[in-house]
Amino acid sequence: MSMISLTAARTGLVADDVIGGVRAVVETELAPIVKAIDIDGVYPDAALRALGKAGLFRQHLAAHAPDGAQDVGRAIAAMTAVGTVCLSTSFCTWCQDAAGWYLENTDNTALRDELQAGIASGAVLGGTGLSNPMKALSGIEGFKLRAQRAEGGWVVSGILPWVSNLGDGHWFGTVFEDAADASHRIMAMIRCGQPGVEIRQAARFHALEGTGTFAVLFRRAFIADAQILADPAVDLVKRIKAGFILLQTGMGLGVIRGCIDLMYEADRTHAETNAYLPKRPAWFEAELAALDERIMQLAVTPHESDTDYMRQVLTARLNVSELSLEASQAAMLHAGARGYIHGSAFNRRLRESYFVAIVTPSIKHLQQELARLAVH
Amino acid sequence: MPVAFITDVDGAQHMLTGAAGDSVMQIARAAGLPVLGECNGSMACATCHVILDADWADRLPPPSEDEEGTLDTVFNLQPTSRLSCQIVLDDTTDGIRMRLPE
Note the pLDDT of residue A1: 40
Checking DSSP bridges between strand A171-178 and strand A126-129, what pairing results, if any? parallel
Q: Is B70 on the interface with A (CB under 8 A)?
A: yes
Q: What is the ipTM of this complex?
A: 0.84
Of B39, B47, B72, the CB nearest to A202: B39
For residue A3, pLDDT over 70 is answered with no
* Binary contact (B73, A219; C-beta < 8 A): yes
Q: Any residues with CB less than 8 A from the CB of A115 and at least 6 apart, and which?
A: A103, A124, A126, A171, A189
pLDDT of res. A4: 45
CA distance A141 to chain B (A): 10
What's residue A140's pLDDT?
Answer: 85
Query: Taking residues A160-177, what's their average pLDDT?
Result: 96
Q: How far apart are CA A309 and CA A298, in angstroms?
A: 8
DSSP string, A13-82: HHHHHHHHHHHHHIIIIIGGGHHHHHHH----HHHHHHHHHTTTT-TT-TTTSTTS---HHHHHHHHHHH
Is the model's pLDDT at A2 over the cut of 50?
Answer: no
pLDDT tens-digit readout, A248-262: 999 999 999 999 999
- Out of A146, A159, A198, closest to residue B45 by CB: A159
A234-375: CATH class: mainly alpha
The shortest CB-CB distance from B75 to any of A162, A179, A200 is to: A179
Query: Given a cut of 80, is residue A37 above it in pLDDT?
Result: yes
Q: Hey, are the CB atoms on A200 and B66 less than 8 Å from each other?
A: yes
Q: Per the CB < 8 Å rule, is B38 touching A219?
A: no
Name the residue among A146, A158, A161 with its Cβ closest to that of B39: A161
What is the pLDDT, as a whole number, of residue A12?
Answer: 52
| Cβ contact, residue pair A218, B72, below 8 Å | no
- What is the structure's pLDDT at A376? 67
Selecting from B36, B43, B73 the residue whose C-beta is nearest the C-beta of A202 gives B43
CATH superfamily placement of domain A127-230? Butyryl-CoA Dehydrogenase, subunit A, domain 2 (2.40.110.10)
Domain with CATH 2.40.110.10 in chain A: 127-230
Whats the size of chain A, residue-wise? 376
Q: Is A215 on the interface with B (CB under 8 A)?
A: yes
Under CATH, to which class is A3-125 assigned? mainly alpha
* Residue B95 distance to chain A (closest CA, Å): 30
Q: Are A203 and B39 inside 8 Å of each other by CB?
A: yes
Residue range A14-35: mean pLDDT, rounded: 91
Q: Touching check for B46 and chain A: CB below 8 Å?
A: yes
Sign of the CA dihedral A99, A101, A103, A107? negative
Q: A299-346 pLDDT, tens per residue?
A: 999 999 899 999 999 999 999 999 999 999 999 999 999 999 999 999
The parts of chain B modelled with pLDDT lower than 70 are none
Contact B73 A203 (CB under 8 A): no
Domain ranges of chain B: 3-99
Q: Which residues face A187 on adjacent strands?
A: A175, A230
Which residues of chain A from 99 to 118 reach within 8 Å of chain B, CB to CB?
Answer: none
* CATH 1.20.140.10 domain position(s) in chain A: 234-375
pLDDT of residue A7: 46
For the segment(s) B3-99, the CATH number from 3.40.50.300, 3.10.20.30, 3.40.50.880, 3.40.440.10 is: 3.10.20.30
Q: Where does A56-152 have alpha helices with state H?
A: 72-83, 87-105, 109-121, 131-137
Q: Pick from A144, A25, A182, A1: which is nearest to A90 by CA?
A: A25
Q: C-alpha dihedral over A151, A152, A158, A163, to 10 degrees?
A: -170
* The pLDDT of residue A153: 98
Mean pLDDT of chain A: 94
Candidates B40, B67, B73: best to mutate against A (most CBs of A within 10 A) is B73
pLDDT (tens digit per residue) in A39-84? 999 999 999 999 999 999 999 999 999 888 999 999 999 999 999 9
**A195 Cβ under 8 Å from any chain B Cβ:** no
